[in-house]
A and B are shown apart, each in its own frame.
Chain A
Amino acid sequence: MKQLRWLAALPALGMLAGPFFLNRVEPMVLGMPLLLAWLVGCTVATSAIMALIYLTDPANRGPEEGA
């Protein structure tokens, strides 16, 4: 599933474009200002998406190259 790698663009887009739309303090989310909460969400989403990409990437199957 090579196409899945384009998902990695989503959190990046969220971080770069988010501040234009969500640059506000209220409402607080999980005790944090809205903008910070949004960026933290993007960070967590990054890890999840990278995990998905890692698991479906054929380059990570088979013997390790360095061995």
Chain B
Amino acid sequence: MNAALPIIALAVVVALGLGLRARSGHDMDMEQWSVGKRGFGTLLVFLLMAGEIYTTFTFLGGSGWAYGKGGPTYYILCYLTLIYVISYWILPPAWRFAKERNLFSQPDYFAARYDSRSLGILVALVGIVALVPYMVLQLKGLGIIVATASYGAISQTLAIWIGAAVLTVYVMVSGVRGSAWTAVLKDFMILFVVMFLGIYLPYHYYGGIGEMFTAIDTAKPGFLALPDRGQSATWFASTTLLTALGGWMFPHIFASIYTASDARTFRRNAVFLPLYQLMLLFVFFAGFAAVLQVPGLTGPDVDLSLFKIALQTFPPWFVGVIGATGVLTALVPGSMILIAGSTLIAQNLYRPLARNATDATTGRLAKGIAPLLALACVGFTLYGGETIVQLLLIGYAVVTQLFPAFFFSLWANNPLTRAGAIAGILAGVAAVAVTVVGGYTLAKLAPGLPGPVQDLNIGVVALALNLAVAFAVSLTGGSARRTALP
């Protein structure tokens, strides 16, 4: 027993309490459960959107990348900023359409815009492929955080089971309201912890932030900029752009659009959320501080850099506070993923096949699916092995393939037909699967290209293929009905 454990336990109990309390006074029908009755104001939407994006990846991975890769890690700051720039224009029309048609999930949007149930099913399948590994990543992160911060008192496996159980319970009871209220606690804690670590560690070990960077630059020249090849400027620009476009295409992030009570919420948040991203800077600082203090971590262990330096710097109770924050960064997005995943299985895979399904039966089914989906994710986390890393890489690249069909659906005259949208997504997803599973990069595929071009993110190829096929099919399939904005 050490001082860290009770603090982590307290955070879990408070999160559970907040999550359960969020239900009070609300009738949990499908619309309330999945999308909070479309009644969230600017602050809750802000927290939900920030909450989904500040995941364990940002916390462990952001510092881990700074520690392991240096300069290339800056792309995280850039793509998260660009996501919100785009949001100013793409979210309000999507929200308006969803409200008019009473949509619950991301596949609903595609099915309604293109008037195609098959497209809805396809988008739902793509969504599941992206969500499951994303959830597994959260659970894995949670396991690592709790095991490390409890000084080994709680095993990773036990932590994963407890975490999954807690979020399943409050998801089943309170739906997305539970996520929003736990996000309040999480953002408060992460803001405090990250700023503290990002300032204290450089001052404690180096005497200042500038001094820290100078020391790193002397020890590892060039580490703080981009390399000339590999993760070069070309890689940086293409990856930033791809991830910024793909960001909104994750089903749980897309569904959070529906929770807003007003379109102006998104425009307001587009002003504040970029500034909020500066919090990442402090995550980077903490990771950089570890470079010369806890050297020698390699491979997947770089993600532990933040905790390794915390363990050698702080007393157990404060390690507990960091651990508790880390747990919350897993619970909030985890709960959103669970809601979005269960909703899209019930609403977009089961419902089109069941003739007499109603909102009420679909809603009950979605809540029933939540624990099963959580169980499946725990199974993947504990027994998935290395395959899950592959899946995760595919997941990120795969959701981006939904962007063209979404983007053109916002046009007054959509140039894509239903068949074109479906064919484009299929082609893009197939290209992603082949290149990621085969471990292809442009350097391998086309060794004749000039060096900088070879560093382009391979996702660009899949996206280009997607667009080419979508347009080719749309232009040749003359009889297919075009969909236009109402």
- A25 engages B225 (CB within 8 Å): yes
Partner of B85, one of A8, A24, A28, A39: A8
Task: Give the chain B neighbours of A65 by CB distance below 8 A.
Answer: 96, 262-264
Q: Closest B-chain residue to A31, C-beta based? A: B210
Instruction: Check if A59 is an interface residue, CB within 8 A of chain B.
Output: yes
Bound Cα distance A23, B223 (Å): 11
Instruction: Check if B260 is an interface residue, CB within 8 A of chain A.
Output: yes
Partner of A43, one of B81, B210, B236, B261: B81
Bound Cα distance A28, B319 (Å): 32
Task: Give the chain A neighbours of B236 by CB distance below 8 A.
Answer: 19
Task: Give the chain B neighbours of A43 by CB distance below 8 A.
Answer: 77-78, 81, 274-275, 277-278
Bound Cα distance A36, B198 (Å): 15
Bound Cα distance A35, B72 (Å): 10
Interface flags for A22-40 (1: CB within 8 Å of B; 0: not) read: 0111101011111110011
Partner of A47, one of B209, B222, B263, B275: B275
- A50 engages B270 (CB within 8 Å): yes
Q: Given the known A-B contacts A31-B208, A31-B210, A42-B81, are A47 and B274 also in contact in the complex, defined by CB atoms under 8 Å?
A: yes
Bound Cα distance A47, B214 (Å): 29
Task: Give the chain A neighbours of B274 by CB distance below 8 A.
Answer: 43, 46-47, 50
Partner of B81, one of A15, A25, A26, A51: A15
- B217 engages A33 (CB within 8 Å): yes
Bound Cα distance A44, B81 (Å): 9
- A15 engages B88 (CB within 8 Å): no
Partner of A66, one of B222, B226, B260, B275: B260
Bound Cα distance A50, B271 (Å): 5
- B226 engages A23 (CB within 8 Å): yes
Partner of B268, one of A20, A24, A33, A54: A54
Task: Give the chain A neighbours of B309 by CB distance below 8 A.
Answer: none
Name the residue among B84, B222, B224, B261 with the largest chain A CB count within 10 angstroms. Answer: B224
**How near does chain B come to A8, taking the closest CB pair, in angstroms?**
5
Interface residues of B in 216-267 (CB under 8 A from A): 217, 221-222, 224-226, 233, 236-237, 240-241, 260-264, 267
Bound Cα distance A51, B275 (Å): 11
Interface flags for B276-288 (1: CB within 8 Å of A; 0: not) read: 0110010010000
A-side interface residues, number (CB < 8 Å) = 39
Task: Give the chain B neighbours of A31 by CB distance below 8 A.
Answer: 208-211, 213
Partner of A35, one of B211, B225, B260, B271: B225
Interface residues of A in 1-31 (CB under 8 A from B): 5, 8, 11-12, 15-17, 19-20, 23-26, 28, 30-31
Q: Closest B-chain residue to A39, C-beta based? A: B74
Task: Give the chain B neighbours of A35 by CB distance below 8 A.
Answer: 71, 74, 224-226
B-side interface residues, number (CB < 8 Å) = 47
**How near does chain A come to B401, taking the closest CB pair, in angstroms?**
21
Task: Give the chain A neighbours of B84 by CB distance below 8 A.
Answer: 46, 50
Instruction: Check if B407 is an interface residue, CB within 8 A of chain A.
Output: no
Task: Give the chain A neighbours of B74 by CB distance below 8 A.
Answer: 35-36, 39
Instruction: Check if B461 is an interface residue, CB within 8 A of chain A.
Output: no
Instruction: Check if B196 is an interface residue, CB within 8 A of chain A.
Output: no
Bound Cα distance A32, B278 (Å): 13
- A54 engages B267 (CB within 8 Å): yes
Task: Give the chain A neighbours of B440 by CB distance below 8 A.
Answer: none
Q: Closest A-chain residue to B73, C-beta based? A: A36
Q: Closest B-chain residue to A17, C-beta based? A: B237
Task: Give the chain B neighbours of A39 by CB distance below 8 A.
Answer: 74, 77-78
Bound Cα distance A12, B268 (Å): 19
Q: Closest A-chain residue to B280, C-beta based? A: A43
**How near does chain A come to B206, taking the closest CB pair, in angstroms?**
10
Bound Cα distance A30, B208 (Å): 11
Partner of B233, one of A12, A19, A66: A19
Instruction: Check if B188 is an interface residue, CB within 8 A of chain A.
Output: no
Jot down 21 A-B pairs with beta carbons below 8 A, ordered by A: A5-B89, A8-B85, A15-B81, A16-B240, A19-B236, A23-B71, A28-B214, A33-B217, A34-B225, A39-B74, A39-B77, A40-B281, A42-B81, A43-B78, A43-B81, A50-B85, A50-B271, A54-B88, A54-B268, A66-B261, A67-B262
> A: which residues have CB within 8 A of B?
5, 8, 11-12, 15-17, 19-20, 23-26, 28, 30-36, 39-40, 42-44, 46-47, 50-51, 53-54, 57, 59-60, 64-67
Additional 18 contacts, C-beta under 8 A, given A36-B74, A44-B278, A66-B260? A11-B81, A15-B82, A19-B237, A23-B225, A23-B226, A25-B213, A26-B217, A28-B210, A33-B224, A34-B225, A36-B281, A40-B281, A43-B275, A47-B274, A51-B271, A59-B92, A60-B267, A66-B261
